[in-house]
């Protein structure tokens, strides 16, 4: 048996309960959860930390999509797949594995608590194993994604402690975002990138602008106290759900070109997450009224 490509070993492990658990872990790697998780963390935990997490996630999403179309490695056979959300995308590297390592290990590195390291490691391993259990990635795909995600973390951790105008200059930050995105688009190995690439690029660009404005004007800070934290999380989740539903309805009505509409959705979501919801939480007094400017 070719351990890197043959998934026959996983078939005897399957059960109804195991499949439900694997689907739950896999959901943690899809865009819906990632956007929701980063937004809630931005509002109720630490906006600077979760903005950095957005940079990590967006960069890895772009890198993964580019690598998939570059390698064009097929997924495991259709007859053993249990997840029908993968579409026609390629297998290597696994986006779920790459995102699991990048997101959860970066969060653990930011917090630096033993229990957080344990929890985040368990989640990352669960997500990676779930992709093989569900038959949508082989071991090579998962290892490739995990290695890319891990390598990106070393780069980001090193870059964070290097003196650079990117740390404080809005102009340089926007130039870097647009420059990297344009370089990727102009050299894209496939026909065209997935729709989430322009969406994340627009979201990151808009959120960067809004965060700079917030630091100088709104000065939003996360709520304190269990009641306010829970209230802010619930209100933010409700507003996020409404915004996503509204964008979905508008998309069906407008019927714009997919990449253009994805970029528009990204811009709207960037303003919504980084500016509108913080303003709402301040207005309803779930977040502190006045705080000192925060530093990245």
pLDDT, tens digit, 9 for 90 and up, residues 177-226: 889 888 988 889 877 788 888 888 899 999 999 999 998 888 899 898 99
Which pLDDT score is estimated for 287?
87
Give the position of tokens 């700079």. 212
Write out the residue range of the structural domain in which residue 120 sits.
13-283
Res. 62: pLDDT tops 60 = yes
Ramachandran region of residue 46, left (φ > 0), alpha (ψ -120 to 50) or beta? beta
Residue 142 lies in a domain: yes
Name the pTM for this structure: 0.88
Residue 152 lies in a domain: yes
Res. 164: pLDDT tops 90 = no
Res. 68: pLDDT tops 80 = yes
Which pLDDT score is estimated for 32?
87
Residue 296 lies in a domain: no
Q: Do residues 223 and 281 touch, judged by C-beta distance below 8 A?
A: yes
Residue 272 lies in a domain: yes
Residue 149 lies in a domain: yes
Return the percentage of the chain with pLDDT > 90, whole number. Answer: 62
Res. 296: pLDDT tops 70 = no
pLDDT, tens digit, for every residue of 15-55?
A: 999 999 999 999 999 988 999 999 999 999 999 999 999 99
Q: Which of the four pLDDT bands, split at 50, 70 and 90, describes residue 281?
A: very high
pLDDT, tens digit, for every residue of 95-148?
A: 999 999 999 999 999 998 999 999 999 999 999 999 999 999 999 999 999 999
pLDDT, tens digit, for every residue of 243-270?
A: 999 999 999 998 888 888 999 999 999 9
Residue 86 lies in a domain: yes
Distance CA 171, CA 149 (A): 27
Average of per-residue pLDDT values in the chain = 89
Cβ burial of 57 (10 Å; 0-12, 13-18, 19+) is: buried
Residue 288 lies in a domain: no
Q: Per this entry, what is the length of the chain?
A: 296
Q: How many domains does the chain have?
A: 1
Residue 4 lies in a domain: no
């Amino acid at each position: 048996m070719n351990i890197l490509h043959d998934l026959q070993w996983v078939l005897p492990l399957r059960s109804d309960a195991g499949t439900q658990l694997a689907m739950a872990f896999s959901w943690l790697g899809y865009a819906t959860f990632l956007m929701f998780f980063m937004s809630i963390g931005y509002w109720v935990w630490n906006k600077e930390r979760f903005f950095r997490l957005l940079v990590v996630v967006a960069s890895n999403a772009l890198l993964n999509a580019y690598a998939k179309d570059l390698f064009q490695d097929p997924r495991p056979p259709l007859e053993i797949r249990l997840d029908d959300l993968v579409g026609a995308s390629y297998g290597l590297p696994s986006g779920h594995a790459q995102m699991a390592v990048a997101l959860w290990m970066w969060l653990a590195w930011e917090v630096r608590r033993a229990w957080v390291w344990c929890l985040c490691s368990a989640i990352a391993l669960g997500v990676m194993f779930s992709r093989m259990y569900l038959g949508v990635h082989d071991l090579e795909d998962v290892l490739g994604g995990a290695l890319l995600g891990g390598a990106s973390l070393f780069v980001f951790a090193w870059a964070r402690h290097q003196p650079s105008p990117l740390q404080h200059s809005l102009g340089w930050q926007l130039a870097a975002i647009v420059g990297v995105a344009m370089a990727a688009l102009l050299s894209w190995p496939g026909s065209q990138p997935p729709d989430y690439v322009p969406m994340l690029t627009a979201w990151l660009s808009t959120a960067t602008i809004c965060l700079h404005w917030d630091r100088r004007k709104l000065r939003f800070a996360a709520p304190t106290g269990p009641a306010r934290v829970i209230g802010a999380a619930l209100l933010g989740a409700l507003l996020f759900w409404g915004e996503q539903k509204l964008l979905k309805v508008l998309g069906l009505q407008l019927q714009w070109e997919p990449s253009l509409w994805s970029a528009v959705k990204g811009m709207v979501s960037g303003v919504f997450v980084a500016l509108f919801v913080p303003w709402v939480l301040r207005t309803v007094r779930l977040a502190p009224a006045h705080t000192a400017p925060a530093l990245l």
